Amino acid sequence: MMGWCCLDICRALTLLALLFPLWEWGCWGLNPNSGDLEKSPHSDPDPWEILNRHKRSWVWNQFFVLEEYTGNEPLYVGKLHSDVDKGDGKVKYVLSGEGATSIFTIDENTGDIHATKRLDREAQAYYTLQAQAVDRLTNLPVEPKSEFVVKVQDINDNEPKFLDGPYLAGVPEMSPLGTMVVQVAATDADDPTYGNSARVVYSIIHGQPYFSVEPKTGVIRTALPNMDRETRDQYVLVIQAKDMVGQMGGLSGTTSVTVTLTDVNDNPPRFTHKSYQYTVLESLPVQSVVARIKAADFDIGSNAEMDYRIMDGDGPGMFNITTDEDTQEGVIILLKPLDFETKSSFSLRIEVTNRNIDSDFLSLGPFSDTTSVKVTVEDVNEPPVFSSPLSKMVVSEDAKVGTSIGRVSAHDPDTSNSAIRYSIDRNTDLERFFNVDALSGVISTAKPLDREANSIHNLTIFAIESQDPTQIGKGIALITVQDINDNAPVFAIDYETLLCENAMPGQVIQTISAVDKDEPLSGHRFYFALAAPAAGNLNFTLRDNKDNTASILTKRGGFRRREQPVYHLPVLIVDSGSPALSSTNTLSVRVCDCDSDGVALSCGAVAYTATGLSTGALLAILGCIITLLVMVLLIVTMRRRRKEPLILEEERDIRENIVRYDDEGGGEEDTEAFDMVTLRNLNVIRDPSVRRDVTPDTPTFFHYPSGTRPSYKSLPDNVVFREFIWDRLKDADVDPSAPPYDSLQTYAFEGSGSVAESLSSLESLSTDSDQNYDYLSNWGPRFKKLADLYGNSDGTSVLS
């Protein structure tokens, strides 16, 4: 039979007190009558019970261990012992479950259980373990595995905490005594079912005598009546929560509660002065602010909102007062223009009233106040004022230059009554149709007027003070130009009149109307007739419809385009003005070929051709012409085309060497200074027998005795040139720096038969004989200067 042991008598007494109520449950799952561990009816059968079911010899209870043990040795929890254990060491105790081996250990020989770590009940309140006695040699159970609980016993190691702190609260000012402000709550993590470790009481540390707190509930209430926000609007309270029912040794925690007194309308508005004085200029524009006044109200928000009104005063309708919603000021606004000369001061009586009055505080009223406001008007130098801001005038369109139209008048409103000078704002009279007399203000015409160009002239007239030209008044002169009959009527539009060849006599071919730029008061009335040259024509007639229109009718039929494609009909139009004006307008009538419905198909002149060509024939002729043009262009292009070279372009290599020098040449015989176009042709068939590394035997056209080859000058021109070319060819063939391909060298040779011979000064110096230059005088006026210089007969040389 297995039992358990305690550390001391005190723990045993405690456990007995705790275990007594549980004994009725059957010793934590054991039937006290049978001693068997009770199983759930739905649990699986234990293999050990199937093999050998007998009365258990375990005796179990809960084990208890204090939390936060601080000793150096492992904490002894209890002892397990089985009746099977005879003390011979054959039985071994095994512990498993929560915290086995990590927190709890068991002596396998004695069954002593120890806790090796500090336990915290707030982290885990109990541990469920399984114990079993097994044979040391075979490790087979000698007792069935059974479960027991190690419960962590609470100590007061946690102070109360305000999880929702710090607190913010508000209470209306002037509240009665005991008004609830807010409720605070603290929690204690200790076991509320064991002792007083979690029983908390509240107290106020800071905030007296204004507020109090209920010890058990934590409800904060006002402790003084009629607290005034305007005196002090905020209080910071310190509330303490202490466990162990507030006894000595209990743990405590604190929090702060900020209490704000909310405003109520308990203060009426009051003006700081009984009267106010303000000064404004008489030039102050209408709707401008005259002054701002404000009544003092110590309340805030909606409780400080005020309304202002003008109770009475002189100058009714001159001022108005409104409330500035942002500043709660009374804004006095000017409604009518001020005039110092008429009235120089105004007195007003202003009342202010709270907008939101609390009936609970009417005894603190009245919630209104009054004050007086005096507005003084200062005189300013005002600009001249026109007697009429808008002057309407009328002038006839045919008024002569200098005709007086009307007069404007302005005066100085100040007491100085300065003289006025008038002028026209030329921005409103750019073409300068009018003038104004500077002294009298009489407006007259400066140019002829044309109503049709501008029927109304809107002039701005300046009135300028003579003493202070900066003071300028403005007035408007609206001049209307009256119409006269000075424009003749004309056709309303440019008519296009078409006449069918098959038109019948008396047929209306056109209805015409007229327009006139004039605008008579009685309206337009136009009269139509054919002009004298066409009055008796046999082709057309005109019918006046008496409604400012007229109809053109044919007198005959049988019109032919070939005979006359267009008729010009002069129409006379007369208006009803005084005097009446008229104009002659020409109506062009075109004769057209029409279908049976009278729709024009073609109009105008017709060529006299016996037969017409169809559209297909015309297209064929046009195609032939285009074909011929293309062929001509091809032939011209082919003729202008150059012959293709014998060598291909990609095989052609052109080289060019241009030598430039600045020294003076040697005359006609100096031909070795050029080495121009060099061409290459790789397709030239060369004679393989010719060697390029030896001097060729170059032939000559003349055979000379050995060693007696004459100079070039003693040979004919053609022979000289050929010999010169053969000599250059020989030089090129024997030149080791010459390229191994044929080259083309071009030389210019003017011959030796010049009448003037050589004029080179170098050649002149190369001879010792004197020369005669008298022949220069025979060469004409171009050589006269040379003849004067060199044509001396004394034989002296010009060159020294």
pLDDT digits (tens, 9 = 90+) for 200-219: 999 999 988 999 999 999 99
* Backbone φ, ψ for residue 562 (5° rounding): -65, -30
365-404: burial string, b at 16+ Cβ within 10 Å, e else: eebbbebbbebebeeeebbbebeeeebebebebebeeeee
Tokens representing residue 450 in the block: 């044309």
pLDDT of residue 104: 84
Checking if the pLDDT of 21 tops 70, the result is no
Q: What is the mean pLDDT of the chain?
A: 78
Checking if the pLDDT of 155 tops 80, the result is no
Q: Which range, of 26-30, 223-227, 402-406, 501-505, averages the lowest pLDDT? A: 26-30
544-582: burial string, b at 16+ Cβ within 10 Å, e else: eeeebebebebeeeebebeeebebebbbbbbbbbeeebe
pLDDT digits (tens, 9 = 90+) for 734-768: 777 666 666 666 666 665 555 555 555 544 444 44
Checking if the pLDDT of 670 tops 80, the result is no
More confident position, 540 or 48: 540
Answer yes or no: are the C-beta atoms of 79 and 111 closer than 8 Å.
yes
Helix/strand/coil for 53? coil
Please tell me the distance from the alpha carbon of residue 579 to that of residue 270, in angstroms, as a whole number.
Answer: 84
Indicate the pTM of the whole model: 0.42
pLDDT digits (tens, 9 = 90+) for 700-713: 544 555 445 555 55
Q: What is the mean pLDDT of residues 140-149?
A: 85
- 512 has which bridge partners? 550
Inter-residue long-range contacts of 716-723, CB under 8 Å, 24+ positions, other chains counted: 717/751, 717/752, 717/753, 720/749, 720/752, 721/749
Answer yes or no: are the C-beta atoms of 756 and 715 closer than 8 Å.
no
What is the C-alpha R_g of the chain? Answer: 69
Indicate if the alpha-carbon torsion angle 52, 56, 58, 60 is positive or negative.
positive
The percentage of the chain sitting over the pLDDT mark of 90, rounded to a whole number, equals 36
pLDDT category at 678 given cuts 50, 70, 90 is very low
Among 351, 213, 364, 239, which Cα is nearest to 298's? 364
The percentage of the chain sitting over the pLDDT mark of 70, rounded to a whole number, equals 76
pLDDT digits (tens, 9 = 90+) for 280-330: 998 899 999 999 999 999 888 888 899 999 998 887 889 999 999 999 999
Checking if the pLDDT of 195 tops 60, the result is yes
Which residue shows structure tokens 């008038």? Answer: 422
pLDDT category at 91 given cuts 50, 70, 90 is confident
Inter-residue long-range contacts of 44-51, CB under 8 Å, 24+ positions, other chains counted: 46/144, 48/141, 48/144, 49/144
Q: Output the CA–CA distances (angstroms, integers) from residue 193 to 22, 153, 154, 155, in the order listed.
A: 16, 11, 10, 12
pLDDT category at 677 given cuts 50, 70, 90 is very low
Which residue shows structure tokens 């139009």? Answer: 573
Tokens representing residue 625 in the block: 């012409």
Which residue shows structure tokens 């002593």? Answer: 112
Please tell me the distance from the alpha carbon of residue 283 to that of residue 279, in angstroms, as a whole number.
Answer: 12
Q: Which range, of 6-15, 517-526, 773-782, averages the lowest pLDDT? A: 6-15
Checking if the pLDDT of 346 tops 90, the result is yes
Tokens representing residue 454 in the block: 């501008």
Indicate if the alpha-carbon torsion angle 422, 428, 430, 432 is positive or negative.
negative
pLDDT digits (tens, 9 = 90+) for 115-141: 888 887 778 878 888 888 888 888 888
Among 162, 98, 100, 154, which Cα is nearest to 125's? 154
Please tell me the distance from the alpha carbon of residue 581 to that of residue 483, in angstroms, as a whole number.
Answer: 14
Among 371, 324, 377, which Cα is nearest to 348's? 371
pLDDT of residue 41: 34
Please tell me the distance from the alpha carbon of residue 586 to that of residue 573, in angstroms, as a whole number.
Answer: 11
Checking if the pLDDT of 769 tops 50, the result is no
